[in-house]
Amino acid sequence: MRHSKIMTLRWLAVALLLAAGTFAATSLYAEEPTKTDFVLGTVCTVRLIEGGDKATLDEAFSRLRAIEDHMSANRDDTEISQVNAMAGKKPVKVSEDTFYVISKALEYARLTNGAFDPSVGPLVKLWNIGNGGEKVPPAKEILAAKALVDWRQVVLDTTTRTVFLKKSGMRLDLGAIAKGYAADEIEKILMNHKVKAAVIDLGGNIFVFGSKKDKSPWRVGIQNPESERGEYLGIVTGGQMTVVTSGVYERYFIENGKRYHHILSTQTGFPVDNGLVSVSIISKSSIDADALSTSLFILGIEKGMEFLKQFPDTYAIFIDKDKKIYLSVGAGKVFTLQDNTYRLAEQ
């Protein structure tokens, strides 16, 4: 008998840890202005620890809404949906926001030789993981969708700021990079409002901004991939940084006892199956961390470690299905393992 189960874990991807305990989207700190809303397809929270006010939060969430209005592939009224609708027909002029994010996504597609590919939309739509009624698509449909995935068929014109998908049926999906861009944009707003310390949580994409009044380091917990309760297995400690995690526990369904997660391989058309359960990236740039977490997950440990060497001061934490943790060069300086059921791999 076929059995399907869907589980969407949004802000549980990573948990922010403070001296008093674990940070959750519903703030326990009434004196610290905090706003939580559902935007960008997930639960987003911004908490102002020192500096800023309600106007700061309102501007931040207005910016998130604008990004969603431009880049959501799940609505019919966005720029991305217009680009997709005109695939094979004509170029579509887009905002500077959308053009920049597509450009960055294509840059990662080039660097990873297509492992990261923003034209993965046909496969994402076919599998439809996270939207209910999931099931493994027929092989014929997977092959047809896979044939439409090719980042080299995405044409950008910097003069006219237009985007053109060469083949009819192609679809862009910026879900693996847009939240990172959004976090970086909120960082700019916090700087403009002279905020001294804040926490940005965009569905588990964590950005700890500035420095706390007591000068203590930030502590960001890495989600235990086997837990559905937001439990962490280790802590990342440091100054201002972003921590972004991609994992099999974020969105998935189970059919006939097998888990099918949302990170899809453009080579096979199926969810990536390389023994990894999560990859966390620690960086200064959230758009890069967002793209890298997906890229390294798809590339796997060996290729991912090699690929990361191109990004100075950026660290990765790989976790495999055997509860082994692999740290990139330098990651041991910021990551401390807390859960003794996991073990650090010898490197």
Q: What pLDDT shows up at residue 134? A: 87
How far is C-alpha 340 from the geometric centre of its chain's CA atoms? 27
* pTM of this structure: 0.90
Output the pLDDT for position 228.
Answer: 63
Residues pairing with 94 in the sheet: none
Give dist(CA 110, CA 311) in Å, integer: 15
Sign of CA dihedral 272, 275, 280, 283: negative
Contacts of 283 (CB under 8 A, 6+ apart): 241, 242, 244, 289, 292, 311, 313, 314, 315
CA distances from 77 to 39, 58, 71, 85, 118 (A): 15, 23, 10, 11, 19
Locus of tokens 């969708």: 145
What's the order of all strands across the beta sheet hosting 241-247? Answer: 34-39, 42-50, 197-202, 205-210, 241-247, 276-283, 315-320, 324-327, 343-344
Which pLDDT tens digits describe the chain residue by residue (347 residues)? 333 323 333 333 344 443 323 333 334 445 789 999 999 999 999 999 999 999 999 999 999 999 999 999 989 999 999 999 999 999 999 999 999 999 999 999 999 999 999 999 999 999 998 888 889 999 999 999 999 999 999 999 999 999 999 999 999 999 999 999 999 999 999 999 999 999 999 988 999 999 999 999 999 999 898 876 568 999 999 999 999 999 888 788 888 888 889 999 999 999 999 999 999 999 999 999 999 999 999 999 999 999 999 999 999 999 999 999 999 999 999 999 999 999 999 76
Q: How far apart are CA 37 and CA 332, in angstroms?
A: 34
Q: Name the strands in the sheet holding 258-261, side by side, starting at the edge strand that comes first in the sequence.
A: 6-8, 251-255, 258-261
Question: Minimal CA–CA distance to 241: which of 217, 224, 263?
Answer: 217
- Looking at residue 242, its pLDDT comes to 98
pLDDT for the residue 225: 87
Domains of the chain by start residue, with CATH? 6-67+177-344 (3.10.520.10), 72-165 (1.10.3980.10)
| Distance, CA of 79 to chain centre | 20
pLDDT at 229: 59
Q: How far apart are CA 344 and CA 322, in angstroms?
A: 11
- Number of residues that make up the chain: 347
